[in-house]
Amino acid sequence: MNKLDGLELLLAERDIRTSMGRYCRGVDRADAEILASAYWPDAFDDHVAWQGKASDLVPWLVGAMHGFNVSFHMIGQSNIVFRSPTEAEVETYFINYLSPKRAAQGSSDIFQCGRYLDLFTRRDREWRIAHRNVVTDAMRDIGPAPDPTKPLSGAVWPRGSLGPDDPSYRIGS
């Protein structure tokens, strides 16, 4: 069999998008286990500021995320082209917002738009990233965020956080 079709194709596309979602959640929550589950252990990642094995990227990225109060990744459309039943070229658009901890006066929040250019492979019925290149199409310093402890539009809004203190870890409890 040289191609996927029907239900197999839909399931493969769903599994690739699910892996992309795990990647974003893992970064935004600084959760190494979730982040690692999006990659194969021998995967390569070129994240511009960092290049190397994904198994080394995970602790570096989780550590880097502790320099931010907020990390928010939103993924858009994924263009998925299957090379074979076990390989897919995937281009996924993303928007990323980062709010650094205010260690230095004048720290600015960062807004970034770009694309993940990935080679996904299927092993043992699971799709994960085997190779990634990150392309930044736009990036802006957007100034400091408002103080999250002060009312904005008449209310103090709940905020997300890194790790298990984030409200998402309590879904269903």
Query: What confidence score (pLDDT) does residue 120 get?
Result: 98
DSSP 8-state symbol, 145: P
DSSP helix/strand/coil, 51: strand
Q: What is the pLDDT of residue 48?
A: 84
DSSP 55-114: HHHHHHHHHHHTTEEEEEEEEEEEEEEEEETTEEEEEEEEEEEEEE--SSTT--EEEEEE
Cβ burial, residue 129 (10 Å; 0-12/13-18/19+):
buried
173 vs 43: which has the higher pLDDT: 43
- The 109-123 sheet, strands edge to edge: 51-53, 39-46, 126-143, 109-123, 87-100, 68-84
- Which pLDDT score is estimated for 140? 92
Of residues 69 and 16, more confidence is placed in 16
Fill in the DSSP letter of residue 169.
G
Task: Answer with the residue of higher pLDDT: 47 or 31.
Answer: 31
Confidence bin at 104 (pLDDT 50/70/90): low
* Centroid of chain to Cα 15: 15
pTM above 0.85, yes or no: yes
Fold of 6-154: Nuclear Transport Factor 2; Chain: A, (3.10.450)
Whole-angstrom distance, CA of residue 109 vs CA of residue 142: 5
Helix, strand, coil shares of the chain as percentages rounded to 5? Answer: 25, 45, 30
Confidence of residue 105 (pLDDT cuts 50, 70, 90): low
Quick check: 17 pLDDT over 80?
Answer: yes
Mean pLDDT estimate for the chain? 89
CB atoms near residue 97 (< 10 Å): 17
- Evaluate if residue 128 carries a pLDDT over 80: yes
| Closest listed residue to residue 36, CA positions, set 67, 12, 62, 75 | 62
